[in-house]
């Protein structure tokens, strides 16, 4: 399945690098085409692995509950580029 991630994030901490993130991951092809999950949570970016709350869902995921587990594979602290 293919998809697209969209959404804003804002800095939320003065001492520990952390963001408040809202994003919607919408599937654009394959078995889950037209379905999506929405995440809204604190995102402590200095942790390599973290969990964010799933707060919305559509289509095949409409009754889903739980969390999204993120893992940072690459981070360039100079320009903010990241692969998560």
**pLDDT tens over the chain, length 84 residues:** 688 888 888 888 777 778 888 989 999 999 999 999 999 988 888 788 999 999 999 999 998 889 989 898 888 878 878 788
Q: What is the pLDDT of residue 27?
A: 94
| Cβ-contact 20, 42 below 8 angstroms | yes
* pTM: predicted TM-score of the whole model, two decimal places: 0.72
Q: How far is Cα 82 from Cα 48, in angstroms, rounded to an integer?
A: 12
Q: How far is Cα 57 from Cα 74, in angstroms, rounded to an integer?
A: 28
Q: What is the pLDDT of residue 1?
A: 65
Q: What is the pLDDT of residue 17?
A: 77
């Amino acid at each position: 399945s293919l998809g697209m991630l969209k959404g804003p994030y804002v800095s939320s901490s003065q001492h520990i690098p952390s963001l408040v993130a809202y994003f919607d991951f919408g599937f654009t092809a394959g078995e889950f085409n037209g379905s999506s999950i929405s995440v809204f949570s604190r995102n402590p970016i200095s942790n390599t692995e973290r969990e964010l709350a799933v707060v919305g869902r559509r289509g095949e995921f409409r009754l889903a509950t739980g969390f999204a587990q993120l893992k940072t594979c690459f981070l360039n602290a100079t320009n903010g580029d990241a692969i998560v």
